[in-house]
Structures are given as structure tokens and as C-alpha cells.
Chains A and B, each alone.
Chain A
Amino acid sequence: MVTTSAPCSTPLAGRELPPSVRNQGNSGPASGLGDPGSRERAWEAAAAVKDPEVPVLTIEDLGVLRDVVVDGDRIRVDITPTYSGCPAMDAIRDDVELALLRAGFDSVEVRLVLAPAWTTDWMSDEGKRKLTEYGIAPPSGHAALRRAQGPVRVSLGVRCPRCGSLDTRELSRFGSTSCKALYECRACLEPFDHFKAI
């Protein structure tokens, strides 16, 4: 795996944290980092962080959370960007750090890793269900299938997350964020976002 952490990748030292965080961090039961459950607890804390732009999804649902490694009294969390230019990554990195502080871990490094490259195939079924409920059509088909086609593409049917109709139309392949396309439903006439397969 190729790591992409910056030399100063978010060490906690050097940060003035809000008192509320500090108190929670110190009063929690989680000071014994050597205990065997610490990786699980760290994973749980990181996994609960929400995507700031699609707040029904956690970074675990999205497949953005790649790994949690306990090394002595240090916790390293690997996250991967959905898109190269995704501006949400900075917010996600901060949120992961805060979540781990709140869980009682006080030496945390969050790394951005580029390889292996993120794909919507990593999105959990639970994540796809939550997306649909939220009003965003989840990725359809497998990303690998898309890449197998030639330069002039045939796109797969996308189901309307509101009425369930397959009679939908792509308005724009690019939507409100890098990861979405804009669709409209010809049955219920509502526009909706579609999470693109990549």
C-alpha cells in the first residue's frame, strides 16, 4: 500500500483542543491503550464519523475508512479520498481525530492513502440502503463493468429513490458534489442525485 501522509500528518500534539473534548478524553474509560480491545474501540469511534456532505453515511459505509492500526500507545487511522479533489477530506480527517480524542485516545495519526484507489464497489449494502432512504440513488452496477466499455457508452438504468421507477433520465453526469450525477424521474417528475459508480 502506498501511503500519502504528509510529513506533519495531523499529530495531535501541538493542538489546543476545546475543553469539552479534553474533559471527555480524560474522563473516559479508555486510557489503557494496551488492552486488546483498543483497536476495536478505535475502529468503532472512527467508523461512526459521518461524511459531511452526505450525512446519512458513515465513512465506514462509504469505504473511506481503510484501516486502524494500534502501535504501542499510538493509533493510526488510514482514510482514502473518494475523489482526488474532494474537499470533504479535510473535514473528515479533523472529525476522525476528534472522535478518537473523545473515545479517550490521545495519540492519533490520520493518514491519507491513495492506493488502492477508492471505488463505489466498497460501499456497504447498508450504506446503499441509507442513501436510497435519504433520496440519493446508490451506485448501480459495478465500477469494473463501466471501465470495460468503449469510448461511446451505454449507461445502466438508475432507479428513482422516491417512487422506485426505472423511467429516469440523466440531466447531467456531474452534480452537486464530485461523487454525484443529476437525474430526473419521468414517473414522479422529481429530480434526484445519483451516486456515480467509479
Chain B
Amino acid sequence: MSALRQAQGPDLDGAIDPHGDVSVDALALAEELAGSGERAGSADIAEYALWLGDDALILSQQLGAWITYAPELEEDVALGNIALDLLGHARSFLRYAGSWDGRSEDDLAYFRDEAEFRSCWLVEQPNGDFAQTIARQFLVSTYMLELYSALRSSTDPTFAAIAEKAVKEVDYHRDHAVQWVLRLAGGTEESRARIIRAFGDVWPYAAELFRDDALTDRLGDAAVRPSSLRPGFDAVIDAVFAEAELEIPEGSASAGGGRHGSHATPLGHLLSEMQVLARRHPGATW
């Protein structure tokens, strides 16, 4: 944070700060916000913003863990860039969610406990080996591209604006994942065996993304009906799997429950790492 933005005092003409005695922390947080200036119109809108924001935040945190560990330097950079885009989406959504009840994006990211998160189980699945990360990345980015494409028509202007921006970035994320699925499936026996195993591991968690919910029913055209995204998602999966000569894995769908606060085991571990600094030093800035 620049000295400029931390500084408080009289302006050029010695006028009074219109924000009164806002503390430095509160002022700094508000100025860093990347999301909408509009206030969410209802608790349901705020809850839906949490669904989308938490998916982006958790996946971003997961991908960040690959930096310096990816198979090659370019991949460190790629996963780091994708994580950064996702963090941008998360900030926009979380800020919008928090505008409903006066919480900041940092309050929501760092000071909620596991049961208060609304992320889906797919993004909570561990990074595993590189193939598992790519398999998860392919499913999530394909879903997100369908989701944001549809959300551009939301009757909520803030959702529409965030989606319009995100869709172009997620397009690159899906492209990245598709290239790697093709490469791993068509590579060595070892890489092919690993991507097949990886899809077997993550596929059961895709179903949760397409389950309709009372919340999306109530929101109508402000949100996207999850089940409506399934055909578009399946068409992309089918096309890429055909190209890669992969089969859709068998096995039953996971129960999920992330939208209502029941989470896969790894989320707690991820949160403890992500939140420890902010909780140990609340309000810290640098």
C-alpha cells in the first residue's frame, strides 16, 4: 500500500475529510476494493455472490500452492496468472456479498469459519499430482465459462458486469486446461494413466455444480439456474474427451453440500493456512 493512500490529513485547501474519522484500516480496505460500488439488493443476492466468490477464492488459493512446484517454469507462471484472475473475481463477488451486511471482502475471506463458506466440493479437492489439478481445472473452468456466459444476462447489473469481465479470462483458463488434457492423454503411458485416474477422482464432484437450489429458484433471472448449465458443460467435455480418446468415468455422484456449509475435509486445512496470518494479526497492513 502506498504512503499516499495511508496518509490522512488536510487536503490541498485544508478541507475536512468527507469520511469523517474513518480509521486508517477501514479507509485503506475500502479503497482497495475491486468490486461493485452497488449494494446487494437482498440477502439472497448476497448469498449467491458468496457461492460464486467462494468457488473462485478457494480455487485461487489451491492454484497458488503450485507456484515453484509446477512441472516447468511456464506452468508456475500460468497457474499463478489463473489464480490471480480468480482472486480478482473472488474480490468482486465477496465485496458485493459483504455490501449487504457491512462486511469487507477481507472479513469474508479471513474471518469466516468453514461452515460459513459456500464453495462447492470440486474446488475443495486437493491439488494431488499435476494431472489431478488439470482434471479439476478442466471441469471447473468449463463450468465457470458456461456460468459466466449465462450470468452476463443477469437482471442484477453487478452480477452481469462481473461476469462480462470474468468470461473473457475464464475462456483462457479453459483453453489452458484443454491443452493440458490433450497433452497428458496423448503423451506417455504414464501421463495418460495419470489423467485417467485423475478424472476418476474428481468426476463425482462435478454433479454438485448443476443441482438446483431453493436459492436459485427464488432469485430467478438474477442468478443462473444450475441445471441449465449441464448441456453446455457436457458438450464441451464430450468434445474434448473424444479428441483425447478418454471415457467419461463411471461411478456415483458425490452428495456435496458446500452451498449449505457442509464441506469436504481438505477445506478446513486450506482455510487454516489461508487465514492464519490475518487472524493472528487482525487489521495488519503493509
CB within 8 Å of B: which residues of A?
Answer: 2-17, 22, 25-26, 81, 83-87, 89-91, 94, 97-98, 101, 106, 111-112, 114-119, 143, 146-147, 150-153, 171-176, 178, 182, 196, 198
Q: Say yes or no: is B131 at the interface (Cβ < 8 Å to chain A).
A: no
Given contacts A26-B12, A119-B168, contact A2 B158 (CB under 8 A): yes
Question: How far, in whole Å, are A87 and B89 apart by their CA atoms in the complex?
Answer: 13
Residue of A nearest to B75 (CB): A172
Give the shortest distance, in Å, between A130 (CB) and chain B (any CB). 23
* 6 A–B contacts, CB within 8 A, in A order: A10-B31, A13-B16, A97-B4, A98-B4, A114-B161, A198-B172
Question: How far, in whole Å, are A3 and B36 apart by their CA atoms in the complex?
Answer: 7
Chain B interface size range: 35 or more
In residues 127-182 of chain B, which contact A (Cβ within 8 Å)? 142, 157-158, 160-162, 164-166, 168-169, 171-172, 174-176, 178-179, 182
Question: How far, in whole Å, are A126 and B125 apart by their CA atoms in the complex?
Answer: 46
Given contacts A84-B89, A151-B236, contact A173 B176 (CB under 8 A): yes
In residues 226-276 of chain B, which contact A (Cβ within 8 Å)? 236, 239-240, 243
- The secondary-structure label for the interface of chain A is loop
Q: Is the CB of A174 within 8 A of B176?
A: yes
Q: Say yes or no: is B219 at the interface (Cβ < 8 Å to chain A).
A: no
Residue of B nearest to A119 (CB): B168
Q: Which residues of B contact A5 (CB under 8 A)?
A: 37
Q: Which residues of A contact B157 (CB under 8 A)?
A: 2, 115
Q: Say yes or no: is B214 at the interface (Cβ < 8 Å to chain A).
A: no
Question: How far, in whole Å, are A17 and B236 apart by their CA atoms in the complex?
Answer: 54
Given contacts A15-B7, A85-B85, A115-B160, contact A173 B175 (CB under 8 A): yes
Question: How far, in whole Å, are A131 and B32 apart by their CA atoms in the complex?
Answer: 29
Q: Which residues of B contact A118 (CB under 8 A)?
A: 165
Q: Name, among A3, A4, A111, A182, the residue most crowded by chain B CB atoms within 10 Å (CB to CB).
A: A4
Q: Which of A85, A90, A172, A173 contacts B84 (CB 8 A)?
A: A85
Beyond the given A14-B8, A17-B4, could you list 19 further A-B residue pairs with CB under 8 A, ordered by the A residue number?
A2-B36, A2-B160, A4-B34, A4-B35, A6-B95, A11-B17, A13-B15, A15-B7, A15-B9, A16-B8, A84-B92, A94-B4, A98-B4, A114-B161, A117-B164, A146-B171, A147-B168, A151-B240, A182-B77
Question: How far, in whole Å, are A12 and B5 apart by their CA atoms in the complex?
Answer: 10
Q: Is the CB of A115 within 8 A of B161?
A: yes
Q: Which residues of B contact A91 (CB under 8 A)?
A: 2
In residues 1-49 of chain B, which contact A (Cβ within 8 Å)? 2, 4-5, 7-13, 15-19, 22, 27, 30-38
Q: Say yes or no: is B82 at the interface (Cβ < 8 Å to chain A).
A: yes
Q: Which residues of B contact A147 (CB under 8 A)?
A: 168, 171
Q: Which residues of A contact B9 (CB under 8 A)?
A: 14-16
Q: Name, among B9, B165, B240, the residue most crowded by chain A CB atoms within 10 Å (CB to CB).
A: B165
Q: Name, among B9, B34, B82, B236, the residue most crowded by chain A CB atoms within 10 Å (CB to CB).
A: B34
Q: Name, among B11, B13, B172, the residue most crowded by chain A CB atoms within 10 Å (CB to CB).
A: B11
Residue of A nearest to B26 (CB): A8
